[in-house]
Amino acid sequence: MKRKRESIVRAATPDGQRAGEALIETIENQLRLNDPPEAREALERLLDLGETRENAMRYLGSVLATEVFYTLKNNEAFNRERYVGNLRALPELPDDE
């Protein structure tokens, strides 16, 4: 029987937990597909800076969450250039304008 891996997400509510896990799953898919390649580059950079993989994934998840929030708030399409730019800026986190 396969054991369920413990989640790196620690949300205060069940809905927040599901949303956080969906973000991490999306990041894992981006890493597996190397699309965008900047996600892997950001992960490797954060690991080189001494972050644990868990914390590095949280950083990437924060960037993705910021982009998703921005697109919903402003009724815009996902902006890959902005997303990639924010990945490249890590460990500096984007403003959640």
Q: What is the pLDDT of residues 20-60, one digit of tens each?
A: 899 999 999 999 999 999 999 999 999 999 999 999 999 99
Q: How big is the chain by its Cα radius of gyration, in Å?
A: 14
Helices vs. strands in the chain: H and E counts, helices first: 4, 0
pLDDT higher for 3 or 71?
71
How far is the C-alpha of 2 from the C-alpha of 14, rounded, in Å?
23
Looking up tokens 């998840």 gives: 61
Residue ranges of domains in the chain: 14-89
- Distance, CA of 63 to CA of 61 (rounded, Å): 5
For 49-72, what is each residue's pLDDT tens digit?
999 999 999 999 999 999 999 999
57 within 8 A of 49, measured Cβ to Cβ: no
